[in-house]
Amino acid sequence: MPLKLKDIAKALGLSVTTISKVINNYPDISQTTKKKVLEYVKQNKYKPNLQASFLRTNESKLVGIILPSLNHYFFNSVLEGLVDNAMKNNYMVIVLQSNEKYKKEKKLVEQLLNLNVDGIFITVSQETRNFDHLFEIQKNNKTLILFDKIEKSINCSKVIINDKQAAFIATEHLIKRGCKKILHFRGGLLPQISIDRFLGYRSALEHYKIPYDPKRVFICENGNDDEGYLNAKKVIEEGIEFDGLFAISDLIALGAIRYFNKKNISIPDQVAVVGFSNWKVSKLTTPTLTTINQPGKLMGEKMFDLFLKGFKANKNKEKINFETIIIPSNLIVRNSS
């Protein structure tokens, strides 16, 4: 049986109230008592029962994160940063995956609220168009942090990657290398990250006075490597000229490379390729892949910082200043360009 306040009170000849006050650092306690209690607590490794505390304080010391997938290099690095930072602050993290489904995402939010987590971190799913379930989080007086795929209309703190700028840098790199006919394998038409990366590509072309040709842009809806492969095939079959490729993800880039390799189109001489994400494997492929590094771990850490800030302000009924943190990304040049 774990130690309870009652046990400590009995052992020290004090009241439960006094012990609780010492532990919660109330000011109206004599130094002698304080010392005595803290010593006993330390010696006997007393830990408050979190569920019992919750019943009075409404703080569960739990946070939840909803990811599209629990097995995805970038999201897992976000998770790492979040969990490490949470641990430092005595919080635990509950993980869930939405599989990019709106219905599942909605259900998971409900379940997290039912568990009385103090905060929820979420990157909205591909399918999500209705955001009532996210507003519900705030109505329940819990702290909501959006990251990566965010929804601008929601008033909360956010952490994002500057996708447009990163895509600009990637495209700029190809241009500086001498490429003039740069393909872009983009994502679907709706996701913000897909739009932003496309805009970064376009604005780099514009900045360097290279004409934009919509025929060089291909859509990869699902994000698997076969789409990269098939679009590369299409490019060749349609006789489109090219000397560079900026792909929305490493996976798409690798799919395209697979096709180029097959057709003996030499990389980077005939086509220079840049991916996006710095997936662990991108330094292991043949050729190794030039890519944009997104510091997911840093993102996860910042997310928890913002949660703590918001949670504390909320607790003290202070006005909350919502912030949007933009995480910088950087180009890693390897053999594919």
Partner DNA sequence: CTGAAAGCGCTTACAG
Binding site for DNA (CB under 7 A): 1-6, 13-18, 20-21, 23-24, 28-33, 48-49, 52-53, 55-57
Helix (H, G, I), strand (E, B) or coil at 94: strand
Q: Which two tokens stand for residue 93?
A: 């993290």
CB of 82 to its own copies, least distance (A): 9
102 to 77, 176, 260: CA distances (angstroms) = 23, 41, 36
CB of 30 to its own copies, least distance (A): 29
**Identity (one letter) of the amino acid at 55?**
L
Helix (H, G, I), strand (E, B) or coil at 181: coil
CB of 13 to its own copies, least distance (A): 26
Q: What is the DSSP letter of 156?
A: S
Closer to DNA at the Cβ: 46 or 185?
46
CB of 90 to its own copies, least distance (A): 8
Q: Are 335 and 268 in contact (CB under 8 A)?
A: yes
Continuous H helices in 30-162: 31-43, 50-57, 73-88, 102-114, 132-139
**5 binding partner (options DNA, its own copies, none; Cβ < 5 to 8 Å by kind):** DNA
Q: Which two tokens stand for residue 181?
A: 């006919």
**89 binding partner (options its own copies, DNA, none; Cβ < 5 to 8 Å by kind):** none
Residues that bind its own copies (CB under 8 A): 47, 49-52, 54-55, 60-62, 64, 69-71, 73, 76-77, 79-80, 83-84, 87, 90, 92-97, 108, 111-112, 114-116, 225, 251, 254-255, 258, 261, 279-281, 284-286
Closer to DNA at the Cβ: 59 or 84?
59
Closer to DNA at the Cβ: 65 or 112?
112
CB of 47 to its own copies, least distance (A): 5
Q: Which two tokens stand for residue 15?
A: 């009241």
**156 binding partner (options its own copies, DNA, none; Cβ < 5 to 8 Å by kind):** none
Q: Are 154 and 129 in contact (CB under 8 A)?
A: no
How far apart are the C-alpha atoms of 163 and 175, rounded to whole Å?
A: 18
Closer to DNA at the Cβ: 22 or 78?
22
**284 binding partner (options its own copies, DNA, none; Cβ < 5 to 8 Å by kind):** its own copies
How far apart are the C-alpha atoms of 105 and 122, rounded to whole Å?
A: 9
Closer to DNA at the Cβ: 90 or 321?
90
How far apart are the C-alpha atoms of 232 and 19, rounded to whole Å?
A: 69
28 to 17, 18, 53, 68: CA distances (angstroms) = 12, 9, 20, 48
Closer to DNA at the Cβ: 48 or 188?
48
**16 binding partner (options DNA, its own copies, none; Cβ < 5 to 8 Å by kind):** DNA
Cis amide bond preceding 268, omega within 30 = yes
CB of 143 to its own copies, least distance (A): 17
**96 binding partner (options its own copies, DNA, none; Cβ < 5 to 8 Å by kind):** its own copies
Q: Are 272 and 337 in contact (CB under 8 A)?
A: yes
CB of 11 to DNA, least distance (A): 13
CB of 319 to DNA, least distance (A): 21
Closer to its own copies at the Cβ: 192 or 261?
261
**281 binding partner (options its own copies, DNA, none; Cβ < 5 to 8 Å by kind):** its own copies
Closer to its own copies at the Cβ: 104 or 180?
104
Strands (E), the chain: 62-67, 92-97, 119-122, 143-147, 157-161, 182-186, 217-219, 244-247, 272-274, 291-293, 324-327, 330-332
